[in-house]
Chain A
Amino acid sequence: MKFLVLISNVPDTTTKIRFVDDNKAFDTTGVQWIINPWDELALTRAVELKEAGGIESITVANVGENITESTLRKALAVGADDAVRIDAKPKDAFYVATQLAQIAKDYDVIMAGNEASDYNGSAVGGMLAEILGFNSVAAVSGMDIVDGKLSLTREIDGGQQKIEVDTPVVTIVQKGIAIDPRIPAMRGIMMARKKPLTVIPPVEAVEKTEYVGFELPPPKAACKLVEEDNVKELLRLLQEEAKVL
């Protein structure tokens, strides 16, 4: 099976969130970019499956400008075989999915992270599946290849299911798909530049949504402290003041 893992380039989780241009854009000054954590887990699982001999190859793909190439090379260092960058700003989910559709049709299994840690869209995977006419399975917390078939664990409210689905398919994966993101071995890091990273131009596509403004949450009121031996008072506050009990 040929795997395609979609990679989003996102700001590292400790980045201080700031907006510029009259609060219309995210301030990228000094931002460290990383692989979206869910995509990293997806890639880790794909690498594990490849090491176990279950899959033929792993391609990683990203829609982004030049700056995303080092993130793609990190993915190559971790164990992907080749990378594709579609040279365009990732304007919105539909735009991104349309771009990815150019190359995605050649794959058996496409893995998309549940959401990207920046805009939390949860959309690209599903949109890509629909554009390609592939089926999709979401909330995937486990993936195995058994007798050449894809066996998935899917989270449902209150439990889990074991699912079988035909390929080609888009799997939208979440926590559990891999325990920890794979740390690239030194050899992998040194070989990353030798693996193919192809840049292709975007196709004509539209965005359906745009960000017209951002705001930071209002400053929080200070925490109301209660004495250790006065739990009664805490519960009273929760019941009468906060009205949550």
Chain B
Amino acid sequence: MNFEFTEEQLMIRQAAKDYAERELLQDVLERDAKAEFPAKHIKNLAELGFMGMMVDPKYDGSGMDTVSYVLAMEELSKIDAATSVIISVNNSLVCYGLCKYGTEEQKEKYLKPLARGEHIGAFLLSEPEAGSDAMHQHTHAKDKGDYYLLNGTKNWITSGNSASTYIVMAQTYPEKGYRGINALIVDRNSPGITIGPHEDKMGMRSSDTHSVMFTDVKVPKENRIGEDGFGYKFAMKALEAGRIGIASQAMGIAAGALERATAYAKERKAFGTEIANHQAIAFKLADMAVKVENARNLCLKAAWLKDNGKPFSMASAMAKLYAADIAMEVTTEAVQIHGGYGYVKEYHVERLFREAKLTQIYEGTSEVQKIVVSRSLLRE
């Protein structure tokens, strides 16, 4: 069993780390305070190839494996989880969905600009009345022959305003239940789309989250992904892969918190010595390190299974469940270790703590992940 990374994977990790430390770190606090979209960074990261990491070069992607993706997400998230979520949604929900289930025409038209990062992608599943209970979609897409007529509201949409390409899940055949849901590629500029105000969030404030309302929006038939009624399955399959991105993000937030807490503990003095020399603190750090290591291993295993064409649904659910939960634990302890300094913006850990909470909620709550894991387990 080989636990070593390839030279390419190490270079990719280093590139993400260098960009995060040199560029993202410079204005991350300001952007969080102002809830300012990281436009310049998305452009730079797109140029470096981070927006279509796993897309085949023939569709203008970088052709990397999922393990590299996990490493890149970790490094970016250690410093700026708001930027990394924009990247994660683009990569492992939208691009992945199109790569796996899109037609050649759809890939030519939509995947290429997304992979190049010229367009940002958004994934519209959640609704005001349906989050975890995604089977009951209220947004509907009436089949009108050569187009669908889309009506409804989606909310909590990452990149809701900055995205150019939406993938929208909507009900076409209510009588068929979840088997009547379709996934449609929708141009953000289509007439009839209204974007709600920017949500004033606890964390990941630099990522723009909006509700999106559709009023008689016409979506060409050829924009449907997969067979008629494939939408729910599509969404679930996309989320299987998307979970790896979010798990890596959560793990990265925790890893960043651990690094900061460790550095602080080595410098801060109390009771005659550095606090790292007090067992209470040292043991906290040990616990945090074990959790981060476990989370990382779960992410890498899920990535490896995906890269090797093996089923990875349970693995990615385990990774997301665990990484998000430990991200909350590790960031809480990181704030604690910093004492008063942990409570102020300047020391970053309070931001990591706020960011960690969302990872337990979006792209499938921790509770939903437990459903996935227990069902997989009990099925055997």
- Interface residues, chain A, with chain B CB atoms under 8 Å away: 70, 73-74, 77, 180, 183-187, 189-190, 192-193
Contacts and interface: CB of A to CB of B under 8 A. Distances in A.
A189 to B, nearest CB: 5
A186 B53 contact: yes
B8 A189 contact: yes
A186 B50 contact: yes
A186 B19 CA distance: 12
B151 to A, nearest CB: 39
Contacts of B47: 185
Contacts of A73: 7, 11
B49 A77 contact: no
Nearest to B53: A186
Which of A73, A180, A184, A190: most chain B CB closer than 10 A?
Answer: A190
B49 A187 contact: yes
A185 B48 contact: yes
Given A184-B15, A185-B47, 15 more contacts: A70-B7, A73-B11, A74-B11, A183-B18, A183-B19, A184-B11, A184-B48, A186-B12, A186-B53, A187-B57, A187-B62, A187-B63, A189-B8, A189-B11, A192-B11
Contacts of B7: 70, 73
A180 B22 contact: yes
B15 A186 contact: yes
Contacts of A187: 49, 57, 62-63
A180 B19 CA distance: 11
19 contacts: A70-B10, A77-B11, A180-B22, A183-B15, A183-B18, A184-B48, A185-B15, A185-B62, A186-B12, A186-B48, A186-B49, A187-B49, A187-B57, A189-B11, A190-B62, A190-B63, A190-B64, A192-B8, A193-B8
Interface residues of B, number: 18
Pick the 3 closest A-B CB pairs, nearest first.
A186-B49, A186-B62, A189-B11
Contacts of A193: 8
Contacts of A189: 8, 11-12, 15
Interface string B51-80: 001000100001110000000000000000
A192 B62 CA distance: 13
A73 B7 CA distance: 9
A74 to B, nearest CB: 6
Interface in B1-28: 7-8, 10-12, 15, 18-19, 22
A193 B63 CA distance: 14
B343 to A, nearest CB: 25
Contacts of B49: 185-187
Given A189-B8, A192-B11, A183 B48 contact: yes
Contacts of B12: 186, 189
A209 B213 CA distance: 75
B67 to A, nearest CB: 13
Nearest to B19: A183
Contacts of B11: 73-74, 77, 184, 189, 192
Contacts of B53: 186
A47 to B, nearest CB: 14
A193 B11 CA distance: 12
A184 B12 CA distance: 8
A183 B11 CA distance: 10
B22 A186 contact: no
Contacts of B48: 183-186
Contacts of A70: 7, 10
A193 B8 CA distance: 9
Contacts of A192: 8, 11
A77 to B, nearest CB: 6
A190 B19 contact: no
Nearest to A34: B14
Which of A180, A185, A187, A192: most chain B CB closer than 10 A?
Answer: A187
Which of B11, B49, B64: most chain A CB closer than 10 A?
Answer: B11
A230 to B, nearest CB: 23
Which of A70, A180, A185, A193: most chain B CB closer than 10 A?
Answer: A185
A187 B47 CA distance: 10
Contacts of A77: 11
Nearest to B18: A183
A83 B12 CA distance: 20
Contacts of B50: 186
B238 to A, nearest CB: 22
B95 to A, nearest CB: 13
A74 B49 CA distance: 16
A186 B52 CA distance: 10
Nearest to B68: A186
B244 to A, nearest CB: 17
Interface in B107-161: none
B97 to A, nearest CB: 20
Contacts of B22: 180, 183
A186 B117 CA distance: 13
Nearest to B60: A187
A70 B10 CA distance: 10
B8 to A, nearest CB: 5
Nearest to A180: B22
A28 B319 CA distance: 36
A180 to B, nearest CB: 7
B136 to A, nearest CB: 39
